[in-house]
Amino acid sequence: MAELRLLAYAKLNLSLRVVGRREDGYHLLQTLMCAVDFFDELSLAEAEGISISTEGLAIPLGENLAWRAAQLLARHTGVHKGVHIRLVKRIPAGAGLGGGSSDAAAVLAGLNRLWNLGLSTGELQELGLKLGADVPFFLGESPAWAEGIGERLSPAQVALPGAFLILVPPFPCPTPEVYQLFDQLRLPSSCPVRPTAGLRFENDLWPAALRLRPQLGELWRVLEGLGGLGVGMSGAGSALFSAFPGPAEARAAAERLSVPGTVFVARPVGRGYKFLG
């Protein structure tokens, strides 16, 4: 029986600007996205039908993007093949790290190989957009500028820090609630700008996330006190990060950190997934 194993990496939004809103209510963004080597792990084994087992986090079947990705790909291509997906979750949910979207991208890429479909990266990205705005990013190269609702991608020529200390507080920031607060606060949209080589850890959703979770303010100040290259928030939160020149500096800072939540060190990687073996 054929089987593939993959890593599905997390992402950070190193910058995020809200530049407008579509008539359907979706917010228009400009964001610099970077994949990092903190991951979920998947195995894809040929089977009868499409099934999934998940460890580390309980996810209702209809909300499991990995399972939905397999279903979507089978319908789209008309293949009469099955797969059993084993998903080991490590990327926390509700933290702005893109774990569900990354899982979906890894399944699309993995089944494209396992089922010998021959779809291009562009075709997979177009399909992935049906599952979520972040899915196309995880199928392409990192870092990347994402615009629109996240679906318009272009390469980002930026000098990335060598490592990030990432803090996931013991509470989530549900994305819809953060965007609702952004609208309620009547925060102005940023002016669209051309992506540049500069790296600034700005996030227009920060005031809304802080209103939802005031504890984020103290955690931000603690990270600033570690002396890194800058502090930011990924996506709509709740994950915060501090940039460092390399892993050694980030690990040394993590050892000095004493706050509630999960802390890990991760380095940038060049794509949102990786085949093993």
Q: 134 catalytic, yes or no?
A: yes
Whether residue 52 contacts residue 66, with contact meaning beta carbons closer than 8 Å, is answered with yes
What is d(CA 102, CA 53) in angstroms, rounded to the nearest whole number? 17
Question: Which is the catalytic residue, given 40, 103, 134, 204?
Answer: 134
Query: At 71, phi and psi to the nearest 5?
Result: -60, -45
Question: Which is the catalytic residue, given 11, 81, 103, 204?
Answer: 11
Buried b (16+ CB within 10 A) or exposed e, 191-205: eeeebeeebebebbb
What's the angle, vertex CA 172, arms to CA 34 and CA 19, rounded to 5?
50
Q: Which of 42, 40, 38 is nearest to 11 (CA)?
A: 38
43 cis-preceded (ω within 30 degrees of 0): no
What is d(CA 63, CA 82) in angstroms, rounded to the nearest whole number? 19
Q: What residues contact 106, with CB distance under 8 A and at least 6 apart?
A: 6, 7, 8, 40, 42, 66, 138, 272, 273
DSSP structural state of residue 194: -
Q: 204 catalytic, yes or no?
A: no
Write out the catalytic residue numbers. 11, 134
